[in-house]
A and B are shown apart, each in its own frame.
Chain A
Amino acid sequence: MQGVVKVVEETLFAIFMNGIFIKNFLLIQFLGLCSFVGVTKDTKSAAGMSGAVIFVMAMAATASYLMYAYILIPLKLEFLGLISFIVVIAALVQLVEFILRKHVTPLYRSLGIYLPLITTNCAVLGVVLLNVMKEYDFSQSVVFGVAAGIGYTIVMLMMSGIRERSTLVNVPSAVQGLPHAFLIATMLSMAFVNYFRVIPV
């Protein structure tokens, strides 16, 4: 029975759904909360940030898998994993910024200011570290990276929509701002927790 469950869990589709809903990065795993409360004041910037995150997450999952599997493991340098992942992500963000600025200027104008923020976003490093921890192979790593990015986007857009509409709501002055955002997050998180019951993990 245990074996059957494990096989079902490891299909690419299961990893995909897991990354988006069941192990949602923002609401269930608490990764990337700084941007979650910081950049969700309006939908436009939330969408820009989400686009940049999907992009960098997918690239980081790919690049770090290749580096870990083909450079660090053969050389027995696994203990350098953390330091090298950070360097890879920082370099990748820089590279993406250069390429976008040169070739896709409109996209750069909308995503540009969010790119430097991503280097220290724990969600991106979280994807990479979880991939290593769960010993995913190449396709699983990439799928998990993309799925985590999509899950992030869905929640960012929901949150920013709700916050934009609730600016006119009359709440006590002590609750305004961050506490209000956290109380909204409580409701959203309650909805996402129920996905545990759909597919027991």
Chain B
Amino acid sequence: MNALSEFIRGITKDNPIFGLVLGLCPTLAVTTSVENGIGMAAGTAFVLICSNMIISLLRKQIPASVRLPIFIIIIATFVSIVDMLMEAYTPPLYAALGVFIPLIVVNCIIIGRAEAYANKNNVFYSLIDALGESAGFLLVLMLIGGIREILGTGQIVTFGYHVVSIPINPATFMIMPPGAFLTIGILMAIVNYQKARKLARGG
């Protein structure tokens, strides 16, 4: 077990969306643009890193029978912090993400990693695991947000910078709710196809 492979594992094999299939609600709801995706991933990453480290630090003190309520309280504390920080310093982003910032608390990725990883491993590896999962989450949100924004509006504008634009007739469908389902359905089918091909080649 080395740190680099643990980090890469969070992006590839244990990717929160395509590998573990956790945390679908924010993935679909906030990815109307790349900017919202980055904001959501940043908030989730902060909570994931802090809660993973604290839980790993306290793993020998937390009694096994009441561990889930304790995890939830720890996570809720960090989510409240993120909620207030975003409301104070990035009001437009806070307005765009709306109810999904407080809802990070019931995001299955965070409690899933606390239960499956931080509860069993030391602080350093828990930090690496949290960083890897956060990076995986960020990449997926940026990918889905990018696809939806460029097909839905014809351009990608992130934090005031005009990144890219293509000369198409914008399909508003893609930034409406059905577009989210369509995008993730197709992406998941592609991932499944690649996995099956890799398996067939390997075995």
Contact = CB atoms under 8 A, between A and B. Distances in A.
Interface of A: 27-34, 37, 79-80, 82-83, 86, 90, 120-122, 125-126, 129-130, 133, 172-183, 185-187, 189-190, 192-193
Interface of B: 21-22, 24-26, 28-29, 69, 72-73, 76-77, 79-80, 83-84, 98-99, 102-103, 105-108, 111, 176-178, 180-182, 184-186, 188-190, 192-193, 196
A27 B177 contact: yes
B189 A129 contact: no
Contacts of A172: 189
Given A179-B185, A179-B188, A182-B185, A30 B176 contact: no
Contacts of B103: 31, 122, 125-126, 129
Nearest to B195: A174
A77 B26 CA distance: 27
Contacts of A37: 24
Contacts of B108: 34, 120
Given A33-B28, A174-B196, A179-B186, A82 B102 contact: yes
Contact of A133 (B28, B98, B178): B98
A201 B105 CA distance: 28
A38 B52 CA distance: 26
A183 B25 contact: no
Contacts of B79: 82
B147 to A, nearest CB: 14
A49 to B, nearest CB: 16
A86 B192 contact: no
Given A121-B106, A125-B106, A129-B99, A186 B178 contact: yes
A189 B181 contact: yes
Contacts of A33: 24-25, 28
Contacts of B185: 178-183, 185-186
25 contacts: A30-B25, A30-B26, A30-B28, A30-B177, A34-B108, A82-B83, A83-B80, A86-B76, A90-B72, A122-B25, A125-B102, A125-B103, A125-B105, A133-B99, A172-B189, A174-B189, A177-B192, A178-B21, A182-B184, A183-B185, A185-B181, A186-B178, A187-B178, A192-B177, A193-B177
